[in-house]
Structure 1
Amino acid sequence: MRGVERHACAAAILGGPTAVLDLGGLRIVTDPTFDSPGPQGYLTKTRGPVAAEDELGPVDLVLVSHEAHADNLDQRGRAFALAAPLVLTGPCSAELLGPPAIGLAPWTSHDVGPLSVLAVPAVHGPEDGERDSDGNVNCEVVGFVLSGEGLPTVYVSGDNASIRTVAEIARRAPAVDAAVLHAGAARVPAKFGGRPLTMDSRRAAAAAAVLDAAVVVAAHYDGWSHFTEGRADLELAFREAGLSSRLHAPAHGVPTPLR
């Protein structure tokens, strides 16, 4: 995948949560993770991305769901984000990252060229998990809904495990045509008794049904040892839900059209 060819309207997963979106003439990278495999604090990366940061060409925008965890923003990913023209993320993450990061609270938006980028809520753990003083489970996380005239509306979930939150997004945000869903049922034994911190496969299928998205691109299901469900689990869950035709989980680097 050298050069990461541009497409008119497509998404390609590079590994873990990292996606390249070509939309509205812009190249967008989500949750960049480019470090080599190995320990990352209490997490362990087991596989690197299929393309390095210098193979992506000019990037117009980086979306960071949260900066607190290495499986969503590792050291090389952080340097890549800070070298980009613009980073959109949550308010706490923006304060920690500094320029060019801009913090968006849920239900606020920022225009980038032809796109409107709407920040939406995410719950990084059980819906009934203990919340901090800002109302966050685990840490501040945001998802994003990208829309523009004549373009498909694309939802990028970030590390969200809450179907209730997905239902709120379906009610309040523009109708979603395509979704990039972080799945993998990430689990850390010390957090919430090992309950999932991201969607498991059945929840991902339920989210696809709630959103009624025609295209669902699976992300965040491999490359780290704490991801406990993989592509086969996703395929089974979507098949059981009667949604196999909507799920796209091709080899990493292979683009999925978003229309």
Structure 2
Amino acid sequence: MSLILSRQERAITVLGGPTAVIDLGGLRIVSDPTFDAAGPHGYLTKTAGPIVDEHAVGPVDLVLVSHEAHPDNLDDRGRAFAQAAPLVLSGPTAARRFGAPAVGLSPWTSHAVPRPDGAGELTVLAVPAVHGPEDGDRDADGNVNCEVTGFVLSGQGLPTVYISGDNASIRAVAEISRRVPDIDVAVLHAGSARVPTKFDGRPLSLDGRGAAAATAVLGAVTVIPAHYDGWAHFSEGLPEIELAFHEAGLSSLLRAVPHGTWVQLHR
């Protein structure tokens, strides 16, 4: 049986892996679409597909791609889904590689999207992400591993939503918090991704303790974990994330609901 995702006023659901559906301001937004079935993707292995397929998502207004270099954040069917969208926002390098309809945003630049609810615009702010340890080798553009972009969504009367992308850096989170001090909701990629051949096997994304620390730094009141399952290279899953939030005294902020379940957002 295929679950159909009905439109919500202000809500987020995670479909599995990094893929989240965000209904906000009359817009349907999908982050890091991955709709392939389980199977090998080069040096990575997908262990489970999403809770619903792309057809259940229906028409989408905006796709956010944190990075297109790795198939666990943009697989084949996810790429086709994004290419059919009216607008894709990503980093500059990713947008050039992706092509139309992608628009590239450097960190701390924004793009305004008209809201169908008639309340002005949704502002999408690109924010930094570090896809590995702080002391990892950086490319000519200063990226660790590859270019990755996080996003902050905001608008009049809406909760402010931060989507981390594959970020492992609390320093980056602290900078985001300083510049955007009113984040209400955080979607955190928190599976502690590890690849033995990269950075001595150290985490490429937040682990549970890092996600709890990021929550405290941001001051978010709702935290939705993502990108902790569906791929073999995650070293932590939901139990480790929940334990870290419990030990930090932040369990009341964590909304770890089953995939495909809506988390209603309140400002």
Which TM-score band (shorter chain)? over 0.9
Cα distance in 2 between the residues matched to 1:92 and 1:55: 30
Cα distance in 2 between the residues matched to 1:160 and 1:43: 18
For the pair 1:54 / 2:61, whether they are aligned, the reply is no
Q: Summarize deviations over 1:110-158 as a string: whole Å, max 9, x none.
A: 0011200000000000011110010000000000000000000000000
For the pair 1:80 / 2:86, whether they are aligned, the reply is no
Aligned pairs for 1:104-183 (under 5 A) are 104-113=105-114, 114-183=121-190
Q: Structure 1 unaligned runs (5+)? A: none
For the pair 1:232 / 2:233, whether they are aligned, the reply is no
SS of equivalent residue, structure 1 residue 73: coil
SS of equivalent residue, structure 1 residue 248: coil
Residue of structure 2 in register with 1:67 after alignment: 68
1:153–1:174 Cα contact (<8 Å) kept: no
For residue 192 of structure 1, the aligned residue among 191, 199, 207 is 199
Cα distance in 2 between the residues matched to 1:258 and 1:179: 11
Cα distance in 1 between the residues matched to 2:230 and 2:7: 24
Residue of structure 1 in register with 2:118 after alignment: none
Aligned pairs for 1:217-256 (under 5 A) are 217-256=224-263
Moved over 3 A (4+): none
How large is the RMSD of aligned CA atoms in angstroms? 0.7
Q: Tell me how far 1:174 sits from its aligned partner.
A: 4.8
Residue of structure 2 in register with 1:35 after alignment: 36
Cα distance in 2 between the residues matched to 1:205 and 1:256: 19
TM-score, L = length of structure 2: 0.96
Residue of structure 2 in register with 1:90 after alignment: 91
Give, as a single letter, the amino acid of the residue that structure 2 aligns with 1:245: S
Identity among equivalent pairs (%): 69
Cα distance in 2 between the residues matched to 1:111 and 1:29: 16
Cα distance in 2 between the residues matched to 1:174 and 1:18: 25
Give, as a single letter, the amino acid of the residue that structure 2 aligns with 1:48: G
Residue of structure 2 in register with 1:209 after alignment: 216
Cα distance in 1 between the residues matched to 2:82 and 2:241: 29
Q: Summarize deviations over 1:146-197 as a string: whole Å, max 9, x none.
A: 0000000000000000000000000012510000000100000000000000
SS of equivalent residue, structure 2 residue 93: helix
TM-score, L = length of structure 1: 0.99
